[in-house]
């Protein structure tokens, strides 16, 4: 993990003073450039909206309110992801922070105060505290904006409307706001929720304790509250996931047209990446896996340095993000466009295992990610039982021991989105079904992975249905 930068940490008093001096210099610079406020708003809004396709502000606010209700009168403080160590490295927002705000800039923080109506002591009148939300933004640095483009801060006209958050304040106000909340109700010191292992949160709580002359507030892990919220996707999230799938499918189709003996694994990864960028995607969902021959048996192989040879089988686990939402697709193809009889046999075993899991699915009952493969309610068990009863290795042994991972995982803002595993699959959830068989002795690995949405009617929807699936469809796609 990179060390936190100054803008990512809570500003201590000396830093607050520096921020005020910087703000004064920036204000003077602003008067010199005489940029009309309306023009500034246009440039700022354009730079933010053009980067990612955001959902309506009401969607993010609904998530914040849901979190606020789960705090049971507590306080949640979340920080944006740290700035990259090098200014030309790409920036990716903290997933929880983005889920709640849609904000994709570093140096920010979010404070949510949960509603409460509880007496301090039995028999006393209840102290009512209403829901509040505040987005804290760092002071603009106009000199740096010549390199980074226009930014917003709390002084930007219309900033609350542009960010969609009820209140926006300077980052320097965060400590004061938290201190006042805890001073007004000391019980809050034991009901503060933050991201785990976040240096900025640790610094803030230590400073708050020093200011109040008390021990540091005991923070709780806010991800335990956000995980169940993020498991089920709303309509806007599903549309973004579908766009990520569409771009990923086109990348996989381009792969099928490009795989041939003499080509390199890295070239295939590059061809797919170009397709994703053409779709407006910002990055791969994960390091692309293009494994040929023995590399096809390595689960998370990503070196992509070998040259494809005639007769090889090639596992391609590669997909992209669209506006922060991920896809996760794997297809297995023959290097020369034709599966050998043995390759086809193992391919069909894996394909049958995936279909067995699909056939076993029951919304509200079925679960995924039971690594023991023994729980009859898991789709893992259905797929494993199929693999272990269909086909043998070269020594006549069942193939179950050659499946080395769970059947699937949630997909969302993260390619492995958070969930409470083993996860019961309900409408609105998006997850993978990805059985595999990996036999190093034969240099033969096969994985088939698709993204599925549980529809409102409880039926499975294959988000990757437009991508060749069967061995015959794959061979046909490679001939075009």
CATH number at residue 210: 3.40.350.10
| Tens digits of residue pLDDT in 350-402 | 999 999 999 999 999 999 986 777 788 899 999 999 999 999 999 999 999 99
Same domain, 98 and 212: yes
Same domain, 210 and 320: no
| Tens digits of residue pLDDT in 416-445 | 999 999 999 999 999 999 999 999 999 999
Instruction: Say if 1 falls within a structural domain.
Output: no
Lowest model confidence (mean pLDDT) among 39-53, 267-281, 302-316, 413-427: 39-53
Cβ contact 422:402 at 8 Å: no
Q: How far apart are the first and last CA of the chain?
A: 45
Same domain, 189 and 251: no
Q: Which of 213, 229, 245 is the last residue of a domain?
A: 229
**Number of structural domains in the chain:** 2
Same domain, 355 and 398: yes
Same domain, 258 and 224: no
Sorting pLDDT into bands at 50, 70 and 90, what band is 126? low
| Tens digits of residue pLDDT in 152-167 | 999 999 999 999 999 9
C-alpha span between 290 and 305 (Å, rounded): 9
Same domain, 194 and 237: no
Mean pLDDT value of segment 159-176: 96
Q: What is the pLDDT of residue 122?
A: 64
- Residue (of 55, 57, 50) closest to 150 by Cα position: 50
CA dihedral 170, 163, 102, 197 (to 10 degrees): 10
Lowest model confidence (mean pLDDT) among 45-54, 129-138, 177-186, 462-471: 45-54
Same domain, 189 and 178: yes
Same domain, 209 and 243: no
200 pLDDT above the threshold of 80: yes
Same domain, 120 and 184: yes
Burial 78-95 (b: 16+ CB within 10 A, else e): bbbbbbeeeeeeeeebbb
């Amino acid at each position: 993990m990179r060390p936190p930068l100054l803008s990512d940490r809570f500003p201590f008093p000396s830093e607050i003073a520096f921020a005020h001096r910087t703000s004064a210099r920036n204000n003077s610079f602003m008067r010199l450039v005489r940029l009309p406020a309306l023009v500034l708003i246009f440039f700022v809004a354009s730079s933010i909206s053009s980067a990612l396709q955001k959902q309506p502000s009401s969607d993010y606010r609904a998530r914040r309110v849901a979190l606020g209700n789960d705090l049971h009168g507590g306080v949640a403080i979340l920080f944006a992801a740290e700035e990259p160590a090098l200014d030309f490295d790409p920036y990716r927002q903290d997933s929880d922070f983005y889920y709640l705000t849609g904000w994709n800039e570093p140096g920010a923080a979010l404070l949510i105060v949960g509603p409460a109506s509880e007496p301090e002591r039995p028999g006393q009148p209840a102290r009512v505290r209403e829901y509040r939300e505040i987005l804290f933004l760092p002071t603009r640095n106009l000199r740096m904006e010549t390199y980074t483009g226009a930014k917003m801060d709390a002084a930007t006209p219309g900033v609350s409307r542009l960010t969609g958050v009820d209140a926006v304040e300077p980052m320097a106000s965060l400590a004061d706001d938290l201190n006042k909340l805890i001073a007004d109700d000391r019980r809050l010191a034991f009901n503060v929720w933050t991201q785990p292992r976040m240096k900025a949160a640790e610094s803030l709580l230590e400073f708050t304790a020093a200011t109040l002359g008390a021990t540091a507030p005991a923070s709780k892990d806010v991800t335990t509250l956000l995980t169940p919220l993020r498991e089920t996707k709303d309509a806007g999230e599903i549309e973004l996931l579908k766009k990520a799938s569409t771009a990923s499918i086109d990348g996989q189709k381009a792969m099928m047209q490009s795989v041939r003996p003499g080509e390199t694994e890295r070239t295939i990864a590059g061809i797919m990446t170009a397709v994703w960028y053409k779709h407006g995607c910002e990055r791969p969902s994960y390091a692309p896996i293009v494994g040929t021959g023995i590399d096809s048996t390595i689960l998370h192989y990503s070196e992509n340095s070998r040259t494809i040879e005639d007769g090889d089988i090639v596992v391609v686990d590669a997909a992209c993000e669209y506006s922060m939402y991920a896809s996760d697709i794997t297809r297995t193809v023959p290097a020369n466009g034709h599966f050998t009889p043995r390759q086809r046999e193992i391919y069909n075993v894996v394909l049958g295992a995936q279909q067995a899991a699909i056939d076993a699915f029951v919304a509200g009952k079925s679960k995924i990610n039971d690594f023991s493969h023994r729980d009859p309610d898991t789709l893992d068990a259905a797929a494993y039982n199929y693999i272990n009863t269909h086909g043998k290795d070269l020594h006549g042994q069942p193939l179950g021991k050659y499946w080395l991972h769970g059947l699937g995982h949630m997909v969302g803002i993260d390619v492995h989105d958070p969930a409470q595993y083993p996860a019961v699959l309900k409408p609105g959830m998006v997850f993978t079904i990805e059985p595999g068989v990996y036999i190093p002795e034969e240099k033969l690995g096969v994985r088939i992975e698709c993204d599925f949405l549980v529809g409102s009617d409880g039926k499975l929807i294959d988000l990757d249905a437009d991508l060749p699936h069967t061995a015959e469809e794959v061979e046909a796609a490679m001939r075009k």
